[in-house]
Chains A and B, each alone.
Chain A
Amino acid sequence: MAQIPGMIKGLAVTFNTMMRTFKNGSNTVQYPHEKEAPPIRARGVIALHEDNCTSCMLCSRSCPDWCIYIEAHKELAPPRREGGKPRAVNKLDRFDIDYALCMYCGICVEVCPFDALFWSPEYEYSEPSIADLLHDKSKLGEWMETVPAAPELEVGADKKKK
């Protein structure tokens, strides 16, 4: 008998939710027709800014799933100053991320010392074939367009010292 007020309250919860859905619409959206904006810093897909990459392999080595494949070769670039030696730079041949393996931990983005990897909130890149989830460096470069500007620092946060 002591449970009866609680049981009535429970019925009221579902009934009120039903009436609220009738009046104000549901909490969900009809996905393919309307989309919710992902929250800021959403981890959708990793974008590659190729010019910043020095193929240092830190991302590849820190990846828990070993889903980043990097191949590079050395090239000689013209010296910075007159009369100097030509510089040796690494040119990327291959930079692939296998999104079939990636678990979106974001360690590669954190560990990159040259700001070559970024999170993009895009999430609609599912494929009928699992092999197509291997994004090469041109595909990863295309994601750069979708990377949002870095959010404002919080008030009182440490500014990076130059």
Chain B
Amino acid sequence: MHSLLAVEIPYWGQSLLRVLGGLVAVLLPAGTIVYVFLFKMMSFMQSRLGPMEAGPYGSMQLFAEVGKWLQKEDIQPDNADKRIFRMAPIVVLMSTFLLVAVVPFGPDAWFTDFETGVFYALAVSSISVLGILMAGWSSANKYSLLGGLRAAGQLIAYELPMVLAVMGVVIQAGTMNLQQIVLAQNAGSIFGSDIVGNPYVLTQFVGFVVFMIAVQAELTQAPFDMPIAESELVSGYMTEYSGFRFLIFFIGEFATAGVFAMIACTLFLGGWGVPFSWFGWTSMDSVANWMNVAGPLIVFTKMMVLVFLIMWIRFSYPRFREDQLQRFAWKVLIPVSLANIMVTAVLKVAF
């Protein structure tokens, strides 16, 4: 970071910049996702216009909603385990902020250059399960508890295919460092042709599909939204939450969608990079400095494409039944991703 600005920034300054950058990297995509996809795309898919009054084309609607939630009463049930009840949404949102720490946004624009970034990302993404279980249990409500248990069962079931799908990428790239995975994709070649580099969405297509399905389930977006199935469980683990605690859950839901899409685009779509052959770059050091500015925009664009896929599927499909969901994870996704790992490993050795 200091090499970019040609000024030596003290450690506390760097930390402050990282915190600010993390806030921007989480909240800006979350707001954009809510407006573009939840408000507008969903409405258009149902042949209506969505919010139109607040700001031009309703673009300020989110601020109105946030203001509404902030001024609502913060209700806590009498029997609730108050401290756990208050902690739960923060734990959920925290896992999102921890997750964004390993996403690289440019050759020098990263929060942490973590050797085992993939491992870390998959590990902290499961912290949200804890928060959801805490919310479900501490609400002292049958619906909340059922929703929390369903969420836990679902997230554990889909954590596995997600890890196994990423394994193929790790085998092919030969590293768990997300920055190196980006490098391997953009500097790579498919059968000697390096026109588009080697984005793993092409060579790891099965892994990509499994990963995106698992992400859909991790985010508890329809068709995997049994934990908050409103026709059965009111609102699942969120039932008893109101005011700004609900707002934190709400932000967490869409911020996590954005961050997971960023990780998916880093793993499968080449992350912040463009194919290095376009500009004659060969290694990380030869990448031009302007990629530090263009990189975040490229990540953002790719993220929007992936979130579009997630939301499109969310708005199109009805939800699974609980047993169908478990059967799909254990009997389809896990065998498929195991087979994918085997094939990848064999091909890796063969080529």
A13 CA / B46 CA spacing, docked (Å): 10
**B-contact 0/1 string along A52-91, CB 8 Å cutoff:** 0000000000000000000000000000000000000000
Say how far B224's CB is from chain A's closest CB, in angstroms.
Answer: 14
- Per the CB 8 Å criterion, the residue count for chain B at the interface is 14
Interface residues of B in 47-88 (CB under 8 A from A): 47-49, 52
Chain B, 28-57, CB within 8 A of any chain A CB? 41, 43-49, 52
Is A13 in contact with B52, judged by CB distance below 8 angstroms? no
Question: Counting CB contacts under 8 A, is A15 at the interface?
Answer: yes
Question: Could you tell me the dominant secondary structure of chain A's interface residues?
Answer: helix
Q: Given A13-B316, A14-B312, A30–B46 Cβ distance below 8 Å?
A: no
> In the complex, are the beta carbons of B47 and A21 less than 8 A apart?
yes
Contact of B48 among A11, A13, A14, A28 (CB under 8 A): A28
Q: Is the CB of B49 within 8 A of A26?
A: yes
The answer to the question of A138 belonging to the interface, with a C-beta cut-off of 8 Å to chain B, is: no
List residues of chain A with CB within 8 A of the CB of B316.
10-11, 13-14
Contact indicator B312/A21 (Cβ below 8 Å)? no
Chain B residues within 8 Å of A22, by CB? 44
- What chain B residues lie within 8 Å of A18 (beta carbons)? 41, 44-45
Secondary structure at the B interface, as helix, strand, loop or mixed, is helix
Asked if B44 and A28 make an inter-chain contact with CB atoms under 8 angstroms apart, the answer reads: no
Chain B positions 120-159 with a Cβ under 8 Å from a chain A Cβ: none
B49 surroundings in chain A (CB, below 8 A):
21, 26, 28, 30
Determine if A129 is an interface residue (Cβ-Cβ < 8 Å). Answer: no
Q: CA of A59 to CA of B71 in the docked complex: distance in angstroms?
A: 48
For the complex, give the distance between the alpha carbons of A98 and B190 in Å. Answer: 77
Task: Give CA–CA (A27, B49) in the complex, Å.
Answer: 9
CB distance from B47 to the nearest CB of A (A): 4
Contact flags (1/0) for A17-31 with B, using CB distance below 8 Å? 110111000111010
**Given A18-B44, A21-B44 in contact, is the A7-B317 Cβ separation under 8 Å?**
yes
The reply to whether the CB of B248 lies closer than 8 angstroms to some CB of chain A is no
Give the complex CA separation of A10 and B44 in angstroms.
15
CA distance A7 to B49 in the complex (A): 25
| Interface contact B47-A20, CB-CB below 8 Å | yes
B18 to chain A: closest CB distance in Å? 38
Write the nearest CB–CB distance from A21 to chain B, whole angstroms: 4
Inter-subunit contact B47/A17 (CB<8 Å) = yes
Bound-complex Cα distance A10 to B316 (A): 6
Chain A: CB-nearest residue to B47? A27
State whether the Cβ of B291 lies closer than 8 Å to any Cβ in chain A.
no
The answer, yes or no, to whether B196 is at the interface (CB within 8 Å) is no
CB distance from A26 to the nearest CB of B (A): 5
Against A, the Cβ 8 Å flags (1 = close, 0 = not) of B292-320 are 00000000000000000000110111000
Given contacts A11-B312, A21-B47, 7 further A-B contacts (CB under 8 A): A10-B316, A11-B313, A14-B45, A21-B44, A26-B48, A26-B49, A30-B49
- A-B pairs with beta carbons under 8 Å apart, 24 shown: A10-B316, A10-B317, A11-B313, A11-B316, A13-B316, A14-B45, A14-B312, A15-B45, A15-B312, A17-B45, A18-B44, A20-B47, A21-B44, A21-B45, A21-B48, A21-B49, A22-B44, A26-B43, A26-B44, A26-B49, A27-B47, A27-B48, A28-B48, A28-B49
Which residues of A come within 8 Å of B, CB atoms? 7, 10-11, 13-15, 17-18, 20-22, 26-28, 30
The 7 A-B pairs at the shortest CB distance, nearest first, are namely: A21-B44, A14-B45, A18-B44, A28-B48, A27-B47, A14-B316, A18-B45
